Structure 1
Amino acid sequence: MRISVTGCGYLGAVHASAMAQLGHDVVGIDVDAAKIDRLAAGEPPFFEPGLPDLLTESTASGRLRFTTDAAAAANATVHFVAVGTPQTADGNAADLRYVDAAIDGLLPHIGPGHTVVGKSTVPVGTAARLAERVKATGARLAWNPEFLREGFAVDDTVEPDRLVYGVEAGDDSSVAVLDEVYEHALGLGTPRIVTDFATAELVKVSANAFLATKISFINAMAEIAEATGADVTQLADAIGHDARIGRRFLNAGVGFGGGCLPKDIRAFTARADELGRGDAVAFLKEVDAINLRRRKRVVDLATAELGGSVVGRKVAVLGVTFKPNSDDVRDSPALDVAVSLKGLGANVVATDPKGIENARSRHPQLDYVDDVNEALRGADLVILVTEWAEYRQLDPAAARTLVAMPTIIDGRNTLDRDAWVGAGWRYRGMGRD
């Protein structure tokens, strides 16, 4: 099929590349000329495992190209909108200016036989509003939310765990078009749910709200464990055996971050307030508060371990991205902890396999090093806040020879506590000592 993808950020670049790999003829469109130049050269402007090879193969095949010219969409019949919906600067609501601009850019180039497909995460009611503008051209609108996990985005696009189509009643044509787009995934048995606009919009935000709630629940239990001497990791193991609960996303630590969960639950509560149903999701405000509290808990632990003051003490912070296998530092708990300690007077030295450049652009006041051994050397305290494999696999005996004081705070409860204690370290976890 001939496909256009408007918005070539994280979602759009991955989607465009994957669609081309599956055999479609794809053009990626974005207003950022520098980004387009990098993508056209086969260089992703962000880190995502597997994407460089996919991008190179797709552009070399001739099935994928990139441009800043919105008129290039006229050669396609299926138009994905994959722009960002960040939190507004003055509130919690989603900023829809980029979605509206994307639709405005498409309108002159679409008509009968064309299908516009929204992939951006938007407040419920957005698709219905946009549909009237799209239908005025003779085209159709569908909403097809994304469920990408950073670090696994390529696989999640090529072989998704489910497909959701939001369409107007009786719009069998859009369903048929999306079935053709996703023929590969459907052939593998991927579940497909065809529903209305509102339900499709709610699927993504409610999924993220549920995951955020589960993470904050176990972090709330960590607070109780810290007050009682219980071990939250063993608690999670025990309750996770209940099939109704499950063990996934029951890992206590410094909390969630990134460009999706925090802003999506805030936008969800803002939209619910607009609908007069704010009470229904009022609990999400506490979910958010618990999550942010865990960052402060790490800072408080660090201060306590250094005798009540961090001023002038070297603190090695392992990780700045919000999760491993990503260079994304948006709303990163790790970076938040580092910045907070720096503000309290600590000599913070941060390291990360992929996120240093992005972190430095946001917080140049921190000291960054590429080598984890350099970060550890002479440190009075070590804090692991992003569970990269290279940090989980550190040799505690070798690391002990580098630091000034062998004290580590495991902000992700990911290290082998017995091994670190056995190597002479003072170990502090989250809700487990």
Structure 2
Amino acid sequence: MAELGFEVLGVDIDANRIRQLSAGDTPFYEPGLAALLRSNLEAGRLSFTCSIAAAVDHADVHFVCVGTPQRPDSQAADLRHVDAVISGLIAAGLGPRSLVVGKSTVPVGTTARLAARIAAAAPGAELAWNPEFLREGFAVEDTLHPDRLVFGVTSGGRAEAVLRALYSRMIDASTPVIVTDYATAELVKVAANAFLATKISFINAMSEVCDATGGDVVELADALAHDDRIGPLFLRAGIGYGGGCLPKDVRAFQARARELGVGPALSFLGEVDAVNMRARARAVRLAHELLGGDPMNRAVAVLGAAFKPNSDDIRDSPALDVATALRRDGAHVAVYDPAAAANARDRHPNLHIADSVIGAVAGAEIVLVLTEWSEFRTLDPAALRRHVARPVVIDGRGVLDPDAWRGAGWTYRALGRPPRPATVRHHAPRHLAERPLPERPTSERPTSERHLHQGAGLHVVDKAAH
């Protein structure tokens, strides 16, 4: 919002994080974010505080951006942080012309409940729900150039007009705007994540079938991708999805459906989740097989710790799940990641976290590529072979060239792909022609482990800005 020209005050209860942000340091790694933070601090449009009262005094538009993690005692979403922000705004004297805008992913029905609280305590104040659809690794681009804007509002209020003013630059650039009711706005985000998770698990389920039949999931996905009804994206088989959104959102969506009495409608998501978790276990079993059935005291290299590239986020990381499983089975596991090494070291002190690819693979009897960083995609298999004890690689993300690795003397294996060389291909697989990953700026470095449920905080936009 500061980049759009508004004066913004960010609020968080973590004083250390506020000091860090105020000094221009990002608390987690995201391409392009550090430069954006510093430029808007220097321009005077952005500042940070721990005082929610200061926020209420400063602004009349308040973005609620806290996390909704899975509850420790169930699959449901934990709404404590959202409720705490609303309580704080009300206690600080939310004004009658204020607009509260929810960005958090919440179970359907939450917005109506919060709107009733606000209406009772702060007559005249309004609530809108404006879900975000950013992807980690592309968050700056997705925020400044969204593919759509969804406004969940009530009829007859000011919320839609205020949101259109706030997002006028995007709207003028022809970004689609969907104006809808609270429930639909809440459902858009969880439905989108559930659909993506389903597509990922579908191709991973097909890779299980390919393993049982000798088929090749890459060739299968390529053929499917030519059907415009299916399309190429998210059809790369591998060790599955992770992170702080898809896993917990899929589970929370099922939990809410059961509460609403429509649990059977989303029962298929239980198998989506199960397929996803099986993909990790299948990678571990494949590693066992390639180690002759006994990983005890064998040297294993894992390339990747973040759940996806261009992020230092290790929440529900499939790569680390596989690494720790092999460690529990007795292997000596060395892990390398360009951004998430510090977080992995803090969370998994029993793993050896290497400082480089060479440091991880030195003397390894098997190498697993489990996060699709461009650094790993472009490895020279001939040069890497000189550093390993046995040239055996598991491509856990389907991003390596099997012919190049086999040609350099490696045993190449991947989930859903037969041990033999793939069939001759006269074109690049369509499902691999996805949006290229941005290069990691060398000026940006990851810091401590991210906790989005504490760190996103509350963004407030200045009263005079619109």
TM value normalised by structure 1: 0.95
Distance in 2 of aligned mates of 1:114 and 1:180: 15
For 1:47-86, what aligned pairs fall within 5 Å after superposition? 47-73=29-55, 74-86=57-69
Distance in 1 of aligned mates of 2:248 and 2:106: 11
1:16 aligns with none
1:321 aligns with 306
Deviation for aligned residue 1:279: 0.2
1:170-215 per-position Cα deviation (integer Å, ceiling 9, x unaligned): 22x1001001111111111000000000000000000000000000
Instruction: Name stretches of at least 5 consecutive residues in structure 1 with no aligned partner.
Output: 1-18
1:350-395 per-position Cα deviation (integer Å, ceiling 9, x unaligned): 0000001111221111000111111111001000000100111000
Match of 2:86 among 98, 103, 112: 103
AA aligned to 1:427 is: Y
AA aligned to 2:108 is: V
Identity across matched positions, percent: 62
Distance in 1 of aligned mates of 2:388 and 2:34: 37
1:168 aligns with 2:154: yes
1:395-422 per-position Cα deviation (integer Å, ceiling 9, x unaligned): 0000010000000000001000000000
1:134 aligns with 2:114: no
Deviation for aligned residue 1:120: 0.2
For 1:379-390, what aligned pairs fall within 5 Å after superposition? 379-390=364-375
AA aligned to 1:130 is: L
Distance in 2 of aligned mates of 1:420 and 1:144: 46
Deviation for aligned residue 1:84: 0.5
* More displaced stretch, 46-55 vs 133-142: 133-142
Distance in 1 of aligned mates of 2:93 and 2:230: 48
1:72-115 per-position Cα deviation (integer Å, ceiling 9, x unaligned): 21210100000000000111000000000010111123121110
For 1:34-433, what aligned pairs fall within 5 Å after superposition? 34-73=16-55, 74-107=57-90, 108-136=92-120, 137=122, 138-171=124-157, 173-433=158-418
Distance in 1 of aligned mates of 2:319 and 2:260: 35
Cα RMSD of the aligned pairs, angstroms, is 0.7
Distance in 1 of aligned mates of 2:118 and 2:129: 12
Counterpart secondary structure, 1:109: coil
AA aligned to 1:121 is: T
1:28 aligns with 2:10: yes
AA aligned to 2:331 is: A
Distance in 1 of aligned mates of 2:189 and 2:345: 31
Distance in 2 of aligned mates of 1:146 and 1:386: 24
TM value normalised by structure 2: 0.88
Distance in 1 of aligned mates of 2:396 and 2:210: 15
AA aligned to 2:163 is: L
Counterpart secondary structure, 1:77: strand
Deviation for aligned residue 1:169: 2.5
List structure 1 segments (4+ residues) > 4 angstroms apart after TM superposition. none
Distance in 2 of aligned mates of 1:66 and 1:119: 19
